Amino acid sequence: MLRLMPVRRANCETRTRREFLVEAGSLSALGLGLPQLLQAEAEAAGKGVARGDINCILIWTRGGTSHHDTLDPKPEANAEVRGDFGVIDTAVPGVQFTDQMPNFARELDRYTVMRNLNPRNGSHSTADAIMMSGRKFNPSITYPCFGSTVSKELGPRNALPSFIQLGTNVDQRFNGGLAGYLGMQHNAFVVPGDPSSDKFTVRDVSLPNGLTAARLDRRRQALAKIDTLQRQLDEQPEALQATDAYYQSAFNMITSAATKTAFDLGQEDQKTRDAYGSHNLGQSCLLARRMIEAGCRFVTVTSGGWDTHRDNFNGLKKLLPPLDQAWPALLADLEDRGLLKTTFVFWLTDFGRTPVINSATGRDHWSTASIATFAGANVPGGQIVGKTDETGARPVGKEYYPSDIAATVYTKLGIPLDTHHVAPDGRPNRLCIGNPIAELG
């Protein structure tokens, strides 16, 4: 149910006639949240400062992708550590990946691999909070994720939300991937569903079956009349007047041909779609590129099912091919379109997996070693940052942390690391406590 007006009542017994009419369905076809989201983003843009023109795409594999079985293999280790996969050479002499990552290996010249990441966590849900914000988990306060900070600091470029999340594979039990103290208006515009499906549609953008633009406009006019009749009885007429422009923005977005085109993968030629792969992750990455091209600042692509406690190797034989196809295809496509220089692309996961294979032929959570990859926005290609010990248990020498990844993201976007936000309780919070990763340019 859509609620277009702020809720002022203390309980569900006292409701204004206006609230009843709106909630009863005068605009229920619109889905959830667009007016409030657009209003909040416009306010954020008004307060923001002109910054760099760098965009971001984050690929998030939820569950903890094994570093041993992807980009940091240990072919010389015992079988209980090495596992079932072989290794292959990459485009960089002396660097090997597992044989499940042939496209990653061939395209290594386009991106950097980090092998000395210490995620400092080994628990689901807190991982989403830590890795997507760069801050230690704190039960008393929720730190904003990267995309929410971008929404707050930079705001939208056009009718599209500044922060979009594709898929629902973010664990929010401990508020991972959310705006936290910045306020829910800076949460992601979430696009559920499978973009590789012929029935894929986007809520709040595609009109439901049977609803024409003319009918939608009549509903808009009806709401305007309700607003006019009720204004003199409302306690905050100025606030209601302020919402009018944002409702209009919502209607404009819904009826905008440019918006519909941005979400329409059917606009892509089949060769491009095939390059990404006819699967959820591949088409989500293609849609992310379209979102960036259309003006969105930060897109998170989510993929689930990576918690391989059991049957790790057979599971990864199904999980890895889509990732191995989608990541290189995204980078190549961005580069061909001249967008890679202005788009910071990175892949993160919860944490690493145990060096020793368990009795269920799986790998469990591992909190001191993991991998990440980075590309675009002047990130050097063909680079391996750091290393782990002979069993992949922990970094050797210098190591990086989630806070350093956060510092790199914000530096790339031109957001000062000493930026402070004030929480609703009046508490000042520094945006970032890490240091930019020097090797990433």
pLDDT of residue 441: 93
| CA distance to 59, 166, 188, 195, 288, per residue, from 191 (Å) | 15, 5, 9, 9, 11
User: Does 305 or 215 have the greater pLDDT score?
Assistant: 305
Instruction: Name the band, by pLDDT with cuts 50, 70 and 90, for residue 218.
Output: low
What is the rounded CA–CA span in Å between residue 65 and residue 316?
9
Instruction: Name the band, by pLDDT with cuts 50, 70 and 90, for residue 68.
Output: very high
pLDDT of residue 21: 35
pLDDT of residue 424: 86
Region 206-211: what's the mean pLDDT? Answer: 56
Give the chain's domains with CATH numbers.
54-215+269-440 (3.40.720.10)
Q: Are 340 and 54 in contact (CB under 8 A)?
A: no
Rounded to 5°, angle at Cα 163 from 348 and 128:
35
Is 374 a residue whose pLDDT tops 90? yes
Is 13 a residue whose pLDDT tops 60? no
Per residue in 119-144, pLDDT (tens digit) is: 999 999 999 999 999 999 999 999 99
Mean pLDDT, all residues of the chain = 85
Spell out the residues 6+ positions from residue 69 whose beta carbon is closer than 8 angstroms to its own.
83, 85, 98, 100, 312, 313, 316, 320, 353, 363
pLDDT of residue 203: 73
**Three-class SS of residue 355?**
coil
Per residue in 252-298, pLDDT (tens digit) is: 556 566 677 899 999 999 999 999 999 999 999 999 999 999 999 99
pLDDT of residue 260: 77
pLDDT of residue 314: 98
pLDDT of residue 425: 87
Q: Are 144 and 133 in contact (CB under 8 A)?
A: yes
Is 15 a residue whose pLDDT tops 50? no
Is 41 a residue whose pLDDT tops 90? no
pLDDT of residue 272: 98
Per residue in 90-120, pLDDT (tens digit) is: 999 999 999 999 999 999 999 999 999 999 9
What is the rounded CA–CA span in Å between residue 72 and residue 269?
35
Q: Give me the percent of the chain exceeding a pLDDT of 70.
A: 76
pLDDT of residue 409: 98
Per residue in 341-364, pLDDT (tens digit) is: 999 999 999 999 999 999 999 999
Closest by Cα among 153, 156, 181, 186 to 47: 153
Q: Which residues pair with 164 in a beta bridge?
A: 189, 299
> What values do phi and psi take at 55, rounded to 5?
-105, 170
Region 300-329: what's the mean pLDDT? Answer: 98
Region 154-176: what's the mean pLDDT? Answer: 95
Instruction: Name the band, by pLDDT with cuts 50, 70 and 90, for residue 38.
Output: low
